[in-house]
A = this chain, B = another copy of it.
C-alpha cells in the first residue's frame, strides 16, 4: 500500500493472519472496527490484551483458561471419576456446548503421528496416566476424531490403560441426529448398521 496508511496497515496485516480471514476480509473487518471504534474496537482491544496476558493452559488437563487450574478441573462438582479425552480445546468446547458430560477432560493437544514425529510424550499422555491414580478415575471416554490418526491414538491410549482397572469407552459412531442417509458416507452407514439396536 502507499502513503495512505501506517498503523492501520499494521493492524490489517496482523488481522489477516487469523484463520478464516484473508487480506480482503481483514480490510473489511478493520474498516468496520474503525467505524465502531468506541463501542466495539476499544473493548475488543482491551479483551484481547487481557487474554493475551492471562491465558494459560491448565496444568492438569490442558484446557485453556486464565488460571493454572482450569474452571472445570477446579470444580468439585465435576469430580465424577470420568475423564473425556479430546484432541484439542475446540473439541472440549463442543462437548461443553452439548452440556451433557459432567466429568472432567484431558486435552491431548493433537494426535499421534509418525509422519510429523508426534509421540506420546508430546501429547500429555503421561499426564493422563498419572491422573488415573491421582483422581480415582473409573472411566476414560475417548472422544477422538474418527480419522486414522484419531483412532491410532485411541488404540494407543486404550493399550496403555489396560490392566489398571479403569473402563475405557469411546463415543458411538452412527447416523448424526437430523442426518439423511443419502448424504452419509459409506463408512458411517457401515458403522451405524453394525451398531444397530432394538427399536
User: With A4-B92, A7-B54 as given contacts, are A44 and B64 in contact (CB-CB < 8 Å)?
Assistant: no
Say whether B29 contacts A19, CB under 8 Å: yes
A42 at the interface (CB under 8 A from B): yes
Q: A residues 93-143 with Cβ under 8 Å of B?
A: 93, 96-97, 99
Could you give, for residues 35-46 of chain A, a 1 whenever the CB lies within 8 Å of some chain B CB and a 0 otherwise? Answer: 001001111111
Return the chain B residue nearest A25 by Cβ: B20
A147 at the interface (CB under 8 A from B): no
Counting chain A residues whose Cβ lies within 8 A of the other chain, the interface size class is: 35 or more
Select A70's contact among B4, B28, B46, beta carbons within 8 Å: B4
A89 at the interface (CB under 8 A from B): yes
Say whether A37 contacts B8, CB under 8 Å: no
Return the chain B residue nearest A13 by Cβ: B47
A63 at the interface (CB under 8 A from B): yes
Distance A87 CA – B26 CA, assembled complex (angstroms): 19
User: With A4-B70, A8-B66, A19-B28 as given contacts, are A44 and B89 in contact (CB-CB < 8 Å)?
Assistant: no
Say whether B96 contacts A31, CB under 8 Å: no
Of all A-B residue pairs in the complex, the 7 with the closest CB atoms, nearest first, are A45-B48, A45-B49, A41-B52, A3-B71, A11-B47, A20-B25, A14-B44
Known: A18-B32, A33-B48, A34-B51. 9 other contacts (CB 8 A): A2-B99, A4-B72, A4-B96, A5-B71, A6-B71, A7-B51, A14-B44, A14-B47, A45-B52
